[in-house]
Amino acid sequence: MSPVARSDALAQRSLAVLLEGQSRSGAFIASPSFPVYHYAWLRDGAFCAHALDLVGEPSAARAFHAWVAETLLAHRSLIEEALARVEGGERRGWKGAATPSAAPEHMPPARYTLRGTLEDAGGQAGAAEPWPNFQLDGYGMWLWALAEHLRNDPPQGDVRAAAALTARYLAAAWNLPCFDCWEEWGGGEHASTLGAVVAGLEAAARILAEPVWGETAQRVRAVLRSRFSDGRRLRRGAQDDRVDGSLLWLGVPFGVLEPGDALLRATVDAIREDLAGPGGGLYRYRGDTYFGGGQWLLLTSSLAWHDAVAGEHALAAAEQAWVRAQATDELELPEQVTDHALSPAMVQPWRQRWGPVATPLLWSHAMYLIAEAAVG
């Protein structure tokens, strides 16, 4: 176990939650106690695998990457059919979207069952209706985490084949309207999604030694800077001037913007000003109503990660202290805390629908470990 995992009881428990939440297949369940989250998201899993790499558990991370590769190759025909539709310029199924695209139900999903199969057509267990399942960000995040795991060494066998397939998919589909990392439409265009695509394509260019993916990433980066900026800072969507906590990832870890970039600095400043709640936790975005729109632990650790890399160690330590204070008596971290929700009237309706906030959330524990490693 690494020094980080030995440093405090919550870090030790976080490591245990990740390992206990990894199925024999290699997939990570999003939350074992929250039925609606009994699936494996590529997005959540990418951060879980990265955390395990950082705390000295590379074999567990390797098992996740092998599961992703096996799963994607098992659904190669779905991905190839989606590529054919996109390249053919099919237009339908998109809530008024103006860009050529394939119908969202025909696109590769954001989540799979722990066995690597597609979820039932009826949607997730406990959900009143099918959840949005076309999101590009997780595929970019997987390639980023894979490159970090491999330390940029070439992947082999099925992992290489799956990485190449994923890069083709991202390069073809990056400008399609899709749901964001919070499973919300929000106009179909999201800065954090494009940031994940840039990170994934650049990772693919390195590990596959195929510069074309890097060239595509540069085009996506240019669109991100031109269409998702108000001239001073980044905004949540091309037509949405609000900030979003997920914009933090465009700096750390995705490196879409350099730490000293004025656009990134102004964006982080706006996140602190607009999204910091009482005590220092971060909201996702203004207007959030999911479980009332509470303060999210994984975003607070994301800010700590950014601050640690930027040399703001006192700020990072304070943000991590806030996260530790939200742990249950069993040292489990929830998805969010709702004591100071943005929309208090919406807390109880969500509890009646799905039960208490997801606890533990593996992604929260992963981000805590990653930020702890950065804080040192």
Q: Which residues have CB under 8 Å from 84's CB, separation 6+?
A: none
Higher-pLDDT residue of 186, 88? 186
User: Are the C-beta atoms of 134 and 109 separated by less than 8 Å?
Assistant: yes
- SS3 label, residue 229: strand
- What domain range is 349 assigned to? 3-375
Give the pLDDT confidence of 3-38 residue by residue, as tens digits: 666 568 999 999 999 999 999 999 999 999 999 999
Q: How far is residue 131's CA from residue 325's CA, in Å, rounded to a whole number? A: 32
Give the pLDDT confidence of 37-53 residue by residue, as tens digits: 999 999 999 999 999 99
What is the mean predicted confidence (pLDDT) over 141-163?
Answer: 97
Q: Given this model, what pLDDT does residue 345 score?
A: 98
What is the mean predicted confidence (pLDDT) over 313-325?
Answer: 97
What is the token pair recorded at 269? 């400043």
Q: Given this model, what pLDDT does residue 129 score?
A: 52
Q: How far is residue 255's CA from residue 263's CA, in Å, rounded to a whole number? A: 13
CATH of the domain at 135: 1.50.10.10
- Is pLDDT above 60 for 71? yes
Q: pTM (2 decimals)?
A: 0.95
Which one of the listed residues 8, 70, 158, 183 is annotated catalytic?
A: 183
Give the pLDDT confidence of 55-65 residue by residue, as tens digits: 999 999 999 99
Please provide the DSSP assignment of 147-173 as one string.
Answer: HHHHTTPPP-HHHHHHHHHHHHHHHHH
What is the mean predicted confidence (pLDDT) over 324-334?
Answer: 98
Which one of the listed residues 44, 189, 335, 372 is annotated catalytic?
A: 335
- Count of domains in the chain? 1
Q: Given this model, what pLDDT does residue 99 score?
A: 45
Would you call 269 a catalytic residue per the annotation? Answer: no
Would you call 44 a catalytic residue per the annotation? Answer: no
Q: How far is residue 353's CA from residue 351's CA, in Å, rounded to a whole number? A: 5
Residue 124, number of CB atoms within 10 A of its CB = 18
Q: Given this model, what pLDDT does residue 7 score?
A: 67
Cα separation of the two ends of the chain: 15
Q: How confident is the model at residue 120 (pLDDT cuts 50, 70, 90)?
A: confident
Give the pLDDT confidence of 336-361 residue by residue, as tens digits: 999 999 999 999 999 999 999 999 99
Q: Given this model, what pLDDT does residue 342 score?
A: 98
Give the pLDDT confidence of 193-239 residue by residue, as tens digits: 999 999 999 999 999 999 999 999 999 999 999 999 999 999 999 99
HSE (side-chain half, CA atoms, 13 Å) at 204: 31
Q: How confident is the model at residue 248 (pLDDT cuts 50, 70, 90)?
A: very high
Would you call 80 a catalytic residue per the annotation? Answer: no
Which one of the listed residues 119, 180, 189, 372 is annotated catalytic?
A: 180
